[in-house]
Structures are given as structure tokens and as C-alpha cells.
A and B are shown apart, each in its own frame.
Chain A
Amino acid sequence: MIDICGVNKTFTLGDSTVHALNNITLQIGQGEYVSVMGPSGSGKSTLLNMLGLLDRPDSGRYSLNGVDTGTLDENERARLRREQIGFVFQSYHLIARLTARENVEMPLMLAGVPARERHPLVAGILDKLGIAGRAHHLPNQLSGGERQRVAIGRSIVMKPAILLADEPTGNLDSRSGKEVTEILETLNREGITLLVVTHDLSMGERATRRIRMVDGAVDSDLNDEEAA
């Protein structure tokens, strides 16, 4: 479903040029569980942003479910993000003035889904993530693990095909981190394509496919299922 071919991206930092993505070619199939690891500055996050249509490649081709994303305008890309892609960020990116429930509801609200249809959907998700009791709390009243669960709830409320997680456990203690990882893996088992960018070796090792990036290029790409 994800098919990128010869993708490049460079940044200019001061007077030096950083090759964040160096001629990357990668296919990821429906329902895969992929971790992307590598040292800082290896281009992991840039790859994730590219896949999430948050950033555009300088060159190369990216097709998502057979749609060549290079030809889409910003509105069409926004629609693809809304319908196909869920994001989980290291710093949660919750809206501070909205309650947990409202944060989860946000994508539905933006999509114009009426309130009476939103509420049962959101209630089900909060229940599933074990934070139903925290529905009316503001983000600053929640623990880190709870916040990340709210963010996960928000990322899956539109039932996307792909879940992109950038260091989802990076700000969490090990116990919360483990819980969040388990939630993500459960979602993957239910069919969602999961791509996790992480520094955390123990988390990265759990993925069935492990991509290691160095200096903007794929260094290794190990797949348990192929090996088996």
C-alpha cells in the first residue's frame, strides 16, 4: 500500500546541506508492523513526515494505495491525511483547552460529523483505551501515559489504514511506554498498518519488520515473516 521510489529530501542548515533522505525506495504492505530506528539525524522523522504527507519530497515518487501523491494539491493531501493516516507524536500534541473526549473528537469535528454520531464512537474508543473515566479531564490533568492514549484515540477515530507513530514512548516512563506499545500492537493485530519511529531498542525489536536508517539511507531492513 505504501510505495516510495527514489525519494530524496535535503535541508539547508546554515551553509551546510543535510541529505535527510537519500534515494530511499521502500514498500510497506497492508497490516505490516514496521519499526524505523537509527541515530539522531538519520532521517527517521523526515521519512515519517513524508509518508504522512506532512512534507513533500524534493524528488522521487510516493504512491499511497495506488494514488500518486506527487500530483495532489494541498487540499487533496489534507483529505488523504484525514481519511487514511493517523498520527501519534512524541509530545502528544493535544489541544490544551479541550477535554480528553474533545481531543479524540477533533478529527470527526473537522470532518463535519454531527455530535450525536460522534459521541458513541468516541465513547467506544475511550473505553477500549481504558481512559473512559478521564473523558472530561483536560490534558494537564492527565498523566503522560493517559495523554498518549488520548492521542492514539484521536489518531484512530477516523479509522485510518495507516498509523504513524513518532517516538510514541519517548516521553513516557517504562511502564506507561509498555502499555502504549501494547495498545499500538493490538491495533496492528486488528489490521492497521503500524509504522513506529523509535530510539527505544526494546520497542523497535518487537516489530515484525525492522528498518535501520543511517545518514538518510536504509541501512538494513529485516523482516521476521520473510525469514520464517
Chain B
Amino acid sequence: MRLFDLLRFSLLALRRQRFRSSMLLTAVSLGVAAVIVLTALGEGARGYVLGEFAYLGKDTVVMIPGRKETTGGMPPMTGVAAHAITLEEMEVLQRAVPGITALAPMVLGNGPVSFNARERDSMVIGTTAAFFPLRDLAIAQGSPLPELALGEGMQVAVIGQTLKEALFDSGRAVGQWIRLHDYRFRVVGVLAGTGDSFGADLSEAVFIPVASAQAVFNVHGLFRVMLKVRENHQVETVKSAIEKQMQALHNGDLDVTLISPDAMLSTFDSILRVMTLGVAGIGAISLVVSGILVMNVTLMSVKQRTAEIGLLKALGAPASQVRTLFLTEAGLVAAAGAVLGIVAGQLLVLVGRQLYPDVPFATPAWALWASLALAVGTALLFAWLPAQQAANMEPVDALGKK
């Protein structure tokens, strides 16, 4: 049988059972649309998260005390390591490694911050003026932390927008004195907007000079250090220069971990890719369910057209041809449903993009092809059994049935 005749014959058969065919079409297209939309969501989430991390910039390196090799696990995020990173070492680093253009040490703490009768438990970040441009944080009122020598403390603070509203309402914060434990700090600046990152809301934080934070929390080692690589310097080269310098400072032990955003991004990227595949898999389940519907409809079709099958056999159609006819019908509906589903899915993705312009919803090309192939594949797979049943009918039995 020629392909054109086969397709025409199948289309006529499908048109004859319009309701059934359209039900099937709907089921398959829903399944495909689900795959399309879910992968778009996954990809959107990936794009969104990667975008959130992009503030670090490709030329920023984060140094954490400790190392996987020395502790045997993940590099400790807590700042507890055999060798603490100290401010003195950072002064050496700044002088010795010419590839570093800016350096922002961080000491992290939590404490009650109060103004008059109001008090909030806040995250306190001890750092330097370099921190704000490095993290792309803008100042709404006042000024950032003053440029100080690393070891120099000062009773000044920058506070986040949310904290400012909590303590001062709409009143003026800059110039006021706030209290943190037994220390008093004069507010010099307020951060603009909110900045979610690493699950911490910086708009609820207090920023004070790093040496002051060491005094307040009575710590010596740094929580982590952010370093900016000078333009025209290779990140990797500067990274190894820093490592070498830190090793020399730590009596020959390499006991710090340096993370560049590239490495971090690629880790997140692969995690989120797996997540996308996971949700695509959930969508694929609905396609498999529609496959079961294909099987039922084909089974019904075979039962209803038994006499026709008998006739085809009497006219000399071999079993394989009868099977092909029914498989073609199932395949055609699935393919048409898939195309419909792709169109519907893409429309939904478009709507989503209008509603949430921040999230880069997009269906990757592979998802389009995979959902099409999966739809047709499952349809053929599930139609195989009933089609085979038709193919194996005895012509005389089939002809006798109405």
C-alpha cells in the first residue's frame, strides 16, 4: 500500500469517528502541553536562579576557611576550620597578589538591634566599603560604610530597608544611634530595595565595619572573603596565586576553599537541569496515560470494524497490512495531538512570560521533539496490541460479524 493511500484511508476512518478521534486528540495534546509547560517552568526556574546569582559577576571569587581535603566533607560554611582566615592575612594578600582589585572580608553574626523601645533580631554583617559594589547593593539614603583600614573599627552602620522601616517607620534613620548588644552605632546609610540571596534577606541586615563586628561578636576568624579580580587578569591565575599566598601564610597548609561563580553556577545549573527533567517526567506520565486511552480507542475501533477487517483480509490484505492500518490511525491522531499540544503549550508559556516577566519561561527545543516522539511512540506502543488482534483475526470469523 502506498503511503499516500495509507494516510488517506486512515484519515477517512478517523473522520468517520469524529468524536472519538477528537477525544483522543485532546488527551494527547493535553499530555504534550503538560510536558511543554512543565519543562518551560523548569527552564524558567533555572534561568531565574542563575540570574539571581549573576550579581556576583564572573570576576568575583569567594574564599571560605577550611577545605574538603582537610575536613573530609563539604568545605565548612560555618567558618570553623583548623586555620582561621584573619584580617592581617587579608592585608598581606592585598599587597602580595596584584590580581586583586577589591577585597571584602565578612564576619557574620546575629544580635538584637534596637532603637528607642523597638528591637529586632537581625543579621549583622561585618565588612568593608568594598562589599557594596561587589554585591551590587545601592544606597538609598546617606552613604555606604566609610573607607577604613581593614583592622580599624568605627561605630557606624548601614541598615537594610526593611529593618529601617521596622525601627524608624517613615522617620529619618541616617544620623540616629542604634544599639547592638552593648555597642552603639550611628546609622550612616540605608540600603535601597530588597536583595534576596542565599536565602538571606539583606534588607533586614545591619552592616558594620569588620573590625567592629569582630569586637562585638568576639571572633577572630573571618566567615568568608569576597575578592574581585582585576580586569585583564585570569580568574584561575589569580585564584591559584591567592591559594599559594594563603598556603604560605598558613605554614604550608592549604586550608582555604576558593569558589568562583563559574563553578558555582555550573553546579546550580546541573541541579536545576535535573529538576527540569524531573518535572518533564511528570508531564510524560500524562502522555503515558493518554497511551492507555489510545489502546482503548483502538480496541473499540477494532471491535467495531471487525467486518471491515474481514473484508480487507478477503481482498488479500496480509496480517501486517491490517496491523499497519490501525497503527497508522493511532499514530496520526497522536502526531496531530502532539502538534496541537505544542502550539497550546507554547501559547501558555507566552502567557506566563507576560504575567511574570522576571522569570525567563522557555521550552527547550529538545522538549518539543521529545514530547512529539513520546506521544507518537506511546500511541504506537499501546495501539500495537489491539492492532495485532485485528491482524490475527480469522477472515471468516471477522466477515461474519456485524
Chain A interface residues (CB < 8 Å from chain B): 49, 52, 54-55, 74-75, 78-83, 87, 89, 93, 95-98, 106-107, 109-112, 114-115, 154, 158
Does B318 lie within 8 Å of A79, measured CB to CB? yes
Report the nearest A residue to B316, measured CB to CB.
A82
Q: Is B66 an interface residue (CB 8 A)?
A: no
Docked pose: A49 CA to B320 CA in angstroms? 22
A183 to chain B, nearest CB (A): 19
Write out the residue numbers on chain B whose beta carbons fall within 8 Å of the beta carbon of A109.
Answer: 1-2, 5, 9
Does A54 lie within 8 Å of B396, measured CB to CB? yes
Q: Is B139 an interface residue (CB 8 A)?
A: no
Determine, out of B172-180, B234-242, B304-312, B371-379, the stretch whose residues face the partner at the interface: B304-312
Residue in B307, B310, B316 whose CB lies within 8 Å of A110: B316
A220 to chain B, nearest CB (A): 26
Task: Report, nearest first, the 5 A-B pairs whose CB atoms are least far apart.
Answer: A82-B316, A55-B396, A54-B396, A78-B318, A81-B316
Q: Is B319 an interface residue (CB 8 A)?
A: yes
Interface residues of B in 1-38 (CB under 8 A from A): 1-2, 4-5, 9, 12-13, 15-16
Does B316 lie within 8 Å of A107, measured CB to CB? yes
Does B316 lie within 8 Å of A78, measured CB to CB? yes
Report the nearest B residue to A109, measured CB to CB.
B5
Q: Can you list 5 residue pairs at the A/B interface with Cβ under 8 Å?
A: A49-B396, A54-B396, A78-B319, A93-B310, A154-B315
Write out the residue numbers on chain A whose beta carbons fall within 8 Å of the beta carbon of B301.
Answer: none
Docked pose: A83 CA to B315 CA in angstroms? 9
Docked pose: A114 CA to B363 CA in angstroms? 42
Docked pose: A111 CA to B311 CA in angstroms? 14
Does B315 lie within 8 Å of A89, measured CB to CB? no
Write out the residue numbers on chain A whose beta carbons fall within 8 Å of the beta carbon of B16.
Answer: 96-97
Write out the residue numbers on chain A whose beta carbons fall within 8 Å of the beta carbon of B320.
Answer: 75
Does B1 lie within 8 Å of A110, measured CB to CB? yes
Docked pose: A154 CA to B316 CA in angstroms? 12
Interface residues of B in 223-257 (CB under 8 A from A): none
Write out the residue numbers on chain B whose beta carbons fall within 8 Å of the beta carbon of A81.
Answer: 313-316
B326 to chain A, nearest CB (A): 14
Does A82 lie within 8 Å of B315, measured CB to CB? yes
Does B13 lie within 8 Å of A97, measured CB to CB? yes
Does A93 lie within 8 Å of B399, measured CB to CB? yes
Write out the residue numbers on chain B whose beta carbons fall within 8 Å of the beta carbon of A106.
Answer: 315
Residue in A49, A74, A83, A89 whose CB lies within 8 Å of B318: A74
Report the nearest A residue to B392, measured CB to CB.
A74
Docked pose: A55 CA to B316 CA in angstroms? 13
Does A97 lie within 8 Å of B15, measured CB to CB? yes
A54-B399, A95-B308, A97-B15 known; A114-B2 Cβ under 8 A: yes
Write out the residue numbers on chain B whose beta carbons fall within 8 Å of the beta carbon of A89.
Answer: 399
Does B311 lie within 8 Å of A95, measured CB to CB? yes
Knowing that A89-B399, A93-B307, A115-B5 touch, tell me 15 more A-B residue pairs with CB under 8 angstroms.
Answer: A52-B314, A54-B313, A54-B314, A54-B399, A55-B395, A78-B316, A79-B316, A87-B315, A93-B399, A107-B315, A109-B1, A109-B2, A109-B5, A110-B315, A110-B317
